[in-house]
Amino acid sequence: MPSSYSTDIVIFGGGVAGLWLLNRLTAEGYQAILLERDRLGGGQSINSQGIIHGGLKYALHGAFGGASRAIADMPRRWSECIEGHGEIDLSACRVLSPHFQLWSGVGPGAGLKSFLGSKAIAGKAEPAAPDEIPEILRGRGAVYRLADFVLDSASLINALAEPQLHRIHAIRQDQCRVSSDDSAAPPPQPDPKHAGAAEPLEFHRLTAGRELRVRMKEQLVTLKARRYIFCAGEGNERLIEQAGLLLPRCQLRPLKMVSVSGSSLPPLFLHVLGAGLSATPALTITSHGRTEEETVWYLGGDLAEEGVARSDNAQVAAAKSLLQRLFPNLQFDDRSWRCLDINRAEPASASGRRPDNATIVSEQDIIVAWPTKLTLAPVMADIVLRNLRDAGIAPGHHPDLLPVCPPPPLGRPFWS
């Protein structure tokens, strides 16, 4: 068995970005493999709320901006995939809710925000039909129906990974090195902030491109790819350092998500507008079944952004008081509450704000890619494919195939 293989593309990271890209690349005829150091989907993707946004959330400040324009076509593209006639077959992915709602909420600021929201979404979303409005919201403020819908993140990752398992390989960072020719360049110095991590992962340049050495099972395998694509979410920052790239930098936007579970929580999929003119909803609720009888409400929006400054106990107290105000007829005291501290990983922007669209940056034979949102994974793959074509990288022929290894396990959402 050879220990040296060539391939067109090596992808790092088995979240939605890497898996979507792997599917697109192989459909276009590229030979590609994906390396995952932990669990598939195990970063942001599996713990996302699974909302396929149509962009209206970003219009709440009164105008359609770059983010909402980039995202507007996404529900159509994803729906085609889920119906089985899109660019990727996602017919095995579970849709948790075929629609999403925007609720003005209750309280003094809600009327104003409802008015601004209605202006921003005029002609782009309809008031929800009476029978679509959850009983708990009836007669309580304005409810709009958005084009957004909600996917079960675990079944999405499974649907993306399943047809590609023979191309997906588990690595551990301390098993993975990038070898060099006799280049005099010294290996990059470890960053002190990562001291103690199970590393090193060394990048050395060859005269042309790079070579990757990976331990798979007991064998050390050398890979030579025409492009290495970092889709590792938060892990991109470390890979960028390891590769000795000067740019790009990453930014992390922390969130403190909350889950609350118990019986008799009605399934809700909605943004709740709050007082003030923030461009994000005060609260975003998605519902996930843990068992037949038990619903889990997964809570994001301003609650999660502002909650990073709070302890878990304080965040649960804030969530409880918000829910009690919004849904006075429900009991929240005897429920099971949990918090999740998690970062959104994005390319750094000068303003520190969320980038408008999926972004890639390329340097030599490395592409660093961020979808920015799960919803924008298809756009990210489009941009990568365009970059490959512009660089003259067409699908190649590589006769020796890497042996199939047991793939990394699937991640599980924290609330499960």
Per rule CB under 6 A, is residue 148 in the interface with ligand FAD?
Answer: no
Other beta carbons within 10 angstroms of residue 352's beta carbon come to: 9
Write the CA distances from 362 to 35, 229, 369, integer angstroms: 19, 9, 9
Report whether 286 contacts 96 (CB < 8 A).
yes
Per rule CB under 6 A, is residue 239 in the interface with ligand FAD?
Answer: yes
**One residue of 33, 35, 323, 388 binding ligand FAD per CB under 6 A:** 35
Tokens 């980039």 found at: 70
Q: Closer to ligand FAD at the Cβ: 118 or 305?
A: 305
Q: Closer to ligand FAD at the Cβ: 15 or 105?
A: 15
Contacts with ligand FAD: how many residues (CB under 6 A)? 38
**One residue of 48, 287, 295, 359 binding ligand FAD per CB under 6 A:** 48
The DSSP element (H or E) to which 138 belongs, if any, is: none
Q: Closer to ligand FAD at the Cβ: 112 or 363?
A: 363
**One residue of 8, 38, 211, 302 binding ligand FAD per CB under 6 A:** 38
**One residue of 5, 50, 59, 268 binding ligand FAD per CB under 6 A:** 50
Smallest gap from Cβ 392 to ligand FAD, in A, equals: 26
Smallest gap from Cβ 159 to ligand FAD, in A, equals: 15
**One residue of 232, 245, 323, 361 binding ligand FAD per CB under 6 A:** 232
Q: Closer to ligand FAD at the Cβ: 125 or 231?
A: 231
Per rule CB under 6 A, is residue 375 in the interface with ligand FAD?
Answer: yes
Per rule CB under 6 A, is residue 14 in the interface with ligand FAD?
Answer: yes
CB burial of 192-202 (b: ≥16 within 10 Å; e: otherwise) equals: eeeeeeebebb
CB burial of 67-84 (b: ≥16 within 10 Å; e: otherwise) equals: bbebbbebbebbbebbee
Write the CA distances from 158 to 150, 212, 213, 286, integer angstroms: 16, 27, 28, 20
Per rule CB under 6 A, is residue 379 in the interface with ligand FAD?
Answer: no
Instruction: Specify whether the backbone of 39 is left (phi greater than 0), alpha (psi in -120 to 50) or beta.
Output: beta
Q: Which contacts (CB < 8 Å, 24+ apart) does range 186-193 have?
A: 188/241, 188/242, 188/244, 191/238, 191/241
Q: Where are the alpha helices (DSSP H) in 97-243?
A: 110-120, 153-161, 236-242
Interaction residues for ligand FAD, span 324-363 (CB under 6 A): 342, 344
Per rule CB under 6 A, is residue 255 in the interface with ligand FAD?
Answer: yes
From CA 409, how far away is CA 416, in angstroms rounded? 16
What does the binding site for ligand FAD look like in residue numbers (CB under 6 A)? 12-18, 35-38, 42-45, 47-51, 53, 173, 231-233, 235, 239, 255, 257, 300, 342, 344, 370-375
